Chains A and B, each alone.
Chain A
Amino acid sequence: MNTTSLSWNPATDLAAMWHYAFMRHGFEAGTIIAIVAGAIGYFVVLRQSAFAAHALSHAGFAGAAGAVLLGLPAMAGLLAFTIGGGIIMAILGPRAANRDVHIGTVLAFMLGLGLLFLSLYHGYATEAYSILFGDILGVSYSGVVMTLVIALVLLALVVAIYRPLLLSCLDEEIAEARGLPVFWLSIAFMVLVAVATSIAVQVVGVLLIFALMVTPAAIAQRIARRPAQGMAISILIALGATWFGLIMSFYCPWPPSFFITTVTFVIYICVRIGQAVR
């Protein structure tokens, strides 16, 4: 991708990276997405809906591939399918949405559907590749702006429903007894997850969404004593992994998604070992 080598002087290195628009956009979009994925991921893990989030991103794959086939922006298809899938899951209820077999079946079907759309589309295979595994270095300026706008809306919604959403993630029955509209909260939650997943696909792709949406939050969930603290840890891990992935990819031909998944995986293993030893 480039021939720059690491100088070990952070200022020089950053300047070298900043020289390239694709690196700047990658950092901008990656930072925004890491914050959103880390924050919303914390609720996903607390609610024990990680697999549902995983399945949503696969529905997004079918949507994105379908949109590409129709000549529409991939993001439009992603959003349509993830939001649609999220609302259906919320209506079916948490019991249905947490069933491994149901989710796995839908997930496989969605991947198959995406595969069909891509095979009907006689364009570049890179489209499929970037939807599946992410292409953070391919984000354009307008992509960054769109990501920022979407992220601000998502974060505003999280702030607005923070306390009720947290209680319903901790225990939905108590939330209901306290008079909270748990059905509408679960719809709002699934839409949050759907949209966050759609923008996070730009960084790690549908197949690796766990690395950004779930693993940092799962680590935070294990070590944080308070939800706000957990969200902060989750965001920091997602940010650290994304930045590390971007920096490494600048000096090494390997894809940033690989480094991002590796960082979150290694931290996860270390935390689990650390907790087991204690």
Chain B
Amino acid sequence: MQKPSENSAMPEHVIIASDLAAGYADNEIWRDANFAIGHGEFVGVLGPNGAGKTTLFRMLLGLAKPKRGSLSILGKPPSRGNPCIGYVPQRHQVDSETGVEAVELVRFGLIGNRWGVGWPGEGRAEATAALHAVGADDLAHRPLGALSGGELQRIFLAEALAGKPDLLLLDEPLANLDMRRETEALQLISGVVRSRGITALLTAHNINPLLPVLDRVIYIANGHVTIGKPSEILTSDSLTRLYGIPIEVVRDSRGRIAIIGTEDPEHHHEHH
């Protein structure tokens, strides 16, 4: 486990968590999280449903307070509406009947935190550039309601990137995508993250597609949080220690892994 930096005045790290605990009054979700994430790292946040992955994101976004311990983002405590963070939600609430074009969603994502009406075309250039960055030029003027799940995912990625964030949080970006779309989405995300040197945290259920691209893994289970290289964390020993029950990590001939013995039988099984 990496020790948090002592020098938090200079944002050498993008995220520093010290003895961080998540939860509310009587209900602790996880505790004793200690990690520091550097610039440009691509980190997977893994763990069973309900382990508290989304809670970590909500704390980073300033929407949930740490129960204990400290959390800093670029040397500052978390704050609501932090312009350094881009966020891609898991669920898209877009009305399937809407004719509003994709570029407008990106545009309002950018200008929507200002009061008043603004002016026509405000933020349009930035929104168009963000769509270009995710290879969605051809989707810019398509109605949101006519886009597929994978296409919407790209629009939301563009929305998150439009504000030129230092930190990108992606909540289950690979959920509900078929295997081909999953690979495409992951290539797109890692391409953008790498080329811009953005730090990215991504939650996921199926870890196998992520293994080649992730620098490190934050694994949350059974109220504990651990961080390390995928090869260090995704082992029988490490996960047995984390879950507190016998866990076996098995690898097939193609290097894909399956985690056996967790309470959640669906978890981490190959869907394909």
Chain B binds chain A: yes
- Chain A interfacial positions (CB closer than 8 Å to B): 45-46, 48, 159-164, 166-168, 170-180, 218, 221-228, 230
Structural contact, B113 and A179, CB atoms closer than 8 A: yes
Which of B97, B112, B113 counts the most A-chain CB atoms under 10 A from its CB? B112
Contact with A along B72-94 (1 / 0, CB 8 A): 00000001111001010101111
CA distance A46 to B112 in the complex (A): 15
Number of interface residues of B (CB under 8 A): 37
- B152 shortest CB reach to chain A, Å: 10
From B80, B85, B101, B111, give the contact of A163 (CB < 8 A). Answer: B111
Q: What B residues does A173 contact at CB under 8 A?
A: 87, 89, 91, 93
Q: At the interface, yes or no: B149 with Cβ under 8 Å from chain A?
A: no
Structural contact, B98 and A221, CB atoms closer than 8 A: yes
Q: What A residues does B138 contact at CB under 8 A?
A: none
- Chain B interfacial positions (CB closer than 8 Å to A): 61-63, 79-82, 85, 87, 89, 91-95, 97-101, 104-105, 108-109, 111-118, 120, 141, 143, 156, 159
Q: What A residues does B99 contact at CB under 8 A?
A: 221-225, 230
Please name 6 further chain A to chain B contacts, defined as beta carbons within 8 Å, in addition to the given A174-B89, A177-B89, sorted by A numbering.
A160-B115, A170-B93, A170-B105, A171-B92, A179-B81, A225-B101
CA distance A178 to B93 in the complex (A): 16
Structural contact, A221 and B97, CB atoms closer than 8 A: yes
- B8 shortest CB reach to chain A, Å: 23
Q: Considering only CB atoms, which chain A residue lies closest to B57 in the complex?
A: A177
CA distance A159 to B109 in the complex (A): 18
From B63, B82, B104, give the contact of A226 (CB < 8 A). Answer: B104
From A163, A174, A226, give the contact of B100 (CB < 8 A). Answer: A226
Q: What A residues does B80 contact at CB under 8 A?
A: 179
